[in-house]
Amino acid sequence: MPARTEEALVTLLDPAVPPTRESPQAGEPITPTGDRPPDGTPPAGLRLRCSDTERERTATVLQAAVGDGRLTVDELEERLDRTYRARYRDELAAEVADLPTPDPEPSRGWAGVAEAAFAQLRTEAAILSGFVPADPRRRLLALLILVGPVLVLCAGAALALHGLLDPSSPGPPFGHGRFHGPGPAFPG
């Protein structure tokens, strides 16, 4: 596989992960361990299959290329046909090898922060439930991370309700005076 094709594949499939080894020479097969077979023929089942999500990402890149004027509609149709028929990742990479790599997505602001927080909470729940192996100290930390915010919210709600519902408290909630300035006072 040409180096440009492999770079496009790496960028297309996971832009956050840089390649971890030298790119192979054109047409040179790679074994799952990264070694090149001595006879130059790939072992059976070596190529990685692509997922529907990877096909959709490739289709999105192709459609953006048409929008940028890099491909014609006829070329798009041909490439989309090959993209949706592709079974292996290198076939997808070949469809976008002659296109520039897409720019990274712009920052998503608070939506990205919330997404990361929920992902962390899912990870902590998986550790606490035993789906992810962890030592006892890490499980305790996961428990604190999950239960701590709940306790803080409950304490805040209790304090707010205490200030609003306490009948022994003189005057309105939270110690504010009943009436300020001239005029009739509230009965009570």
C-alpha span between 93 and 99 (Å, rounded): 10
Phi first, then psi: give them for residue 3, nearest 5 degrees.
-60, -40
pLDDT reported for residue 128: 87
pLDDT greater than 70 at residue 12: no
Three-state SS at 102: coil
Where are the chain's structural domains?
Answer: 3-96, 110-165
C-alpha span between 172 and 166 (Å, rounded): 10
pLDDT reported for residue 84: 94
Phi first, then psi: give them for residue 88, nearest 5 degrees.
-125, 155
Which of the two residues, 10 and 112, has the higher pLDDT score?
112
pLDDT greater than 60 at residue 77: yes
Q: What is the pLDDT of residues 26-64, one digit of tens each?
A: 455 544 445 555 555 445 557 889 999 999 999 999 999
How many other C-beta atoms lie within 10 A of the C-beta of residue 93?
25
Three-state SS at 5: helix
